[in-house]
């Protein structure tokens, strides 16, 4: 098992990465304040991992009151209506402020459980048990929680940190290949935004990673979590450099929202978004054409899309980008690349270059 720490004073927490951690109730029970636990999962992950989690918890502490909330599976259900189902379970079970929520699943379950925990009786503890690559490298760490709105991705939410992250690398064995690829997009993101050594390492090992090599995946998860933990520790609420973790997301969120949540996976939309960010950076004179080719080659090797959906229009992109959370006073702010391995937040006045970039990627130039 590898362990890191996210340093946030008295809200600091450990991130453990390793095989078969879902069964390690002994890592969870010392952090409980009371004995009430609500496990939140979905109809896909629950049948595979719920019994192992429950057995490990009860083996470590027999007097636990464990309740279960099983949500339907999918980004389309990451909404207020399904959050209410979590709160209903908590209230029906008579859970109090010392209850702990355990999020067992991917980023959708993690984001929703965290937001439910942030609101329930004005805040109870929660623990992340991420079971997708994406959630192990990104969404379980850093305390961004929330749900989507039909008009915008993650528009309702709270910063609410978990007490612990347990990333069980063996759970990736049951993950569909398309989901592994989606998670790899966020790993590539860390390389592009701030870690050129990670980028080189990914270029060398992408085949093994995509074949599911557990040792390589463990290293990718640990390096990604370290990168994210360092950024979040310095800027928990995205006053500055945390925005760099949004590389590719302004475009990506536009794709997810316009296409309908769940049509393009988050990681797929971010992959196309990162290619757009690279191409726009080239148009602004910061990247070379060869840099964009390098980005495209790596994304393709990770079996990710490198262009946005052809059915989208430039106006649709601009409409969604106008409501991005990073914008200030109507000024579009985009994460772009100064060079490969260094991102920066840019107030975009070059609207013609943006339109040309989108038109060309959509095959409309
Ligand atoms: N909070 C953050 O910082 C942050 C960061 C990145 C992404 N996100 C959010 O995370 C979400 C995407 O997360 P995701 O990619 O994990 O998607 P997801 O939660 O929808 O999971 C992907 C699919 O894999 C299934 N699954 C999960 N674990 C499995 C396993 N071990 N074996 C078999 N199937 C499994 C799920 O049931 C689902 O069908 C998006 O909503 C995105 O906005 C949040
Ligand atoms: O943790 C962050 O900060 C991120 O931006 C990570 C992103 O990968 C993630 O998709 C996040 O949910 C996006 O947040 P948002 O505030 O742009 O909705
Ligand atoms: Zn993301």
Instruction: Among 174, 208, 239, give the residue marking a domain's end.
Output: 174
Structural domain range at position 57 = 2-174
Task: Burial-class residue 361 by CB neighbours within 10 Å (0-12, 13-18, 19+).
Answer: buried
Q: What is the pLDDT of residues 139-173, one digit of tens each?
A: 999 999 999 999 999 999 999 999 999 999 999 99
**Index of the ligand 2 atom closest to the CA of residue 189:** 8
Same domain, yes or no, for 109 and 166?
yes
Do 146 and 73 fall into the same domain?
A: yes
pLDDT on residue 56: 98
- pTM confidence score: 0.98
Check if 11 is active-site.
Answer: no
Q: Are 159 and 169 in contact (CB under 8 A)?
A: no
Residue 96 CA to ligand 3 center (angstroms) comes to 32
Residue with the smallest CA separation from ligand 2 atom 2 is 245
**pLDDT at position 37:** 98
Domain end (from 141, 174, 207)? 174
Say yes or no: 133 and 250 in one domain.
Answer: no
Residues 110 and 234 in one domain: no
> 170 and 185: one domain?
no
Contact in structure between 38 and 70 (CB atoms under 8 Å)? no
Ligand 2 atom nearest to CA at 326? 17
ipTM topping 0.90 = yes
194 and 341 in one domain?
yes
pLDDT at res. 176: 98
CB of 309 closer than 8 Å to CB of 250 = no
Domain CATH for 21:
3.40.50.1970
- What ligand has the least distance to the C-alpha of 135? 1
Give the residue among 22, 9, 12, 139 at the shortest CA–CA distance from 1. Answer: 22
Q: How many CB atoms lie within 10 A of CB 262?
A: 16
Does residue 122 sit in the same domain as residue 194? no
Kindly state whether residues 285 and 341 are assigned to the same domain. Answer: yes
- The CA 135 to ligand 1 mean position distance, Å, reads 6
The pair of structure tokens assigned to 309 is: 């959906």
Same-domain pairing of 233 and 267: yes
Domain boundary (145, 174, 203) is at 174
Ligand 2, atom nearest to 242 Cα:
3
The protein residue with its alpha carbon nearest to ligand 1, atom 30, reads 175
Predicted local confidence at residue 365, as pLDDT: 72
353 is catalytic: no
Could you tell me if 38 and 93 are in contact, meaning their C-beta atoms sit under 8 angstroms apart?
A: yes
Residue 80 burial (CB count, 10 A):
12
Tens of pLDDT along the chain (365 residues)?
Answer: 999 999 999 999 999 999 999 999 999 999 999 999 999 999 999 999 999 999 999 999 999 999 999 999 999 999 999 999 999 999 999 999 999 999 999 999 999 999 999 999 999 999 999 999 999 999 999 999 999 999 999 999 999 999 999 999 999 999 999 999 999 999 999 999 999 999 999 999 999 999 999 999 999 999 999 999 999 999 999 999 999 999 999 999 999 999 999 999 999 999 999 999 999 999 999 999 999 999 999 999 999 999 999 999 999 999 999 999 999 999 999 999 999 999 999 999 999 999 999 999 999 87
Q: How far is the CA of 270 from the centre of ligand 3 (A)?
A: 7
CATH number at 316 reads 1.20.1090.10
Secondary structure (DSSP) of 168-233: EGGGGGGS-HHHHHHHHHHHHHHHHHH-HHHHHHHHHHHHHHHTT-HHHHHHHHHHHHHHHHHHHH
**238 among known catalytic residues:** yes
* H or E element, residue 323: none
Ligand 2 and 138: CB distance under 6 A: yes
Token pair 């690349």 in the structure block, residue: 337
Within this chain, do residues 136 and 216 fall inside the same structural domain, yes or no? no
Looking at the structure of the chain, the number of domains it has is: 2
Residue 163 shares a structural domain with residue 186: no
Judgement on whether residues 118 and 86 belong to the same structural domain of the protein: yes
pLDDT for res 364: 86
Q: Helix, strand, or coil here: 6?
A: strand
């Amino acid at each position: 098992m590898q362990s890191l720490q996210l340093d946030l004073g008295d809200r600091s927490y450990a991130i453990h990465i390793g095989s078969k951690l879902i069964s390690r109730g002994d890592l969870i029970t010392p952090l409980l304040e009371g004995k009430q636990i609500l496990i939140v999962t979905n109809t896909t992950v629950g049948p595979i991992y719920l019994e192992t989690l429950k057995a490990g918890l009860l083996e470590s502490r027999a007097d636990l009151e464990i309740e279960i909330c099983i949500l339907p599976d999918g980004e389309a259900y990451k909404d207020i209506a399904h959050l209410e189902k979590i709160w209903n379970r908590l209230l029906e079970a008579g859970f109090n402020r010392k209850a702990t929520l355990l999020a067992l699943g991917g980023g959708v379950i993690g984001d929703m459980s965290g937001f439910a925990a942030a609101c329930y009786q004005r805040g109870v503890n929660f623990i992340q048990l991420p079971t997708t690559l994406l959630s192990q490298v990104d969404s379980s760490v850093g305390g961004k929680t929330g749900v989507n709105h039909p008009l915008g991705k993650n528009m309702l939410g709270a910063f609410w940190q978990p007490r612990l992250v347990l990333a069980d690398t063996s759970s990736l064995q049951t993950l569909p290949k398309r989901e592994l690829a989606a998670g790899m997009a966020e790993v590539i993101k860390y390389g592009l935004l701030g870690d050129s050594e990670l980028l080189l390492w990914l270029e060398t090992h992408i085949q093994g990673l995509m074949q599911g090599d557990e040792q390589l995946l463990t290293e990718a998860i640990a390096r990604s979590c370290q990168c994210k933990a360092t950024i979040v520790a310095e800027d928990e609420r995205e006053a500055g450099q945390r925005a760099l973790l949004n590389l590719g997301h302004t475009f990506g969120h536009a794709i997810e929202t316009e296409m309908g949540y769940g049509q393009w996976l988050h990681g797929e939309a971010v992959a196309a978004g990162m290619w757009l960010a690279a191409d726009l950076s080239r148009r602004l004179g910061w990247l070379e054409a060869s840099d964009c080719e390098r980005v495209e080659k790596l994304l393709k090797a990770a079996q990710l899309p490198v262009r946005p959906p052809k059915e989208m229009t430039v106006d649709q992109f601009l409409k969604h980008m106008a409501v991005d959370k990073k914008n200030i006073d109507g000024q579009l702010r985009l994460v772009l690349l100064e060079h490969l391995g260094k991102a920066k937040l840019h107030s975009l006045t070059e609207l013609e270059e943006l339109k040309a970039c989108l038109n060309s990627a959509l095959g409309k130039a």
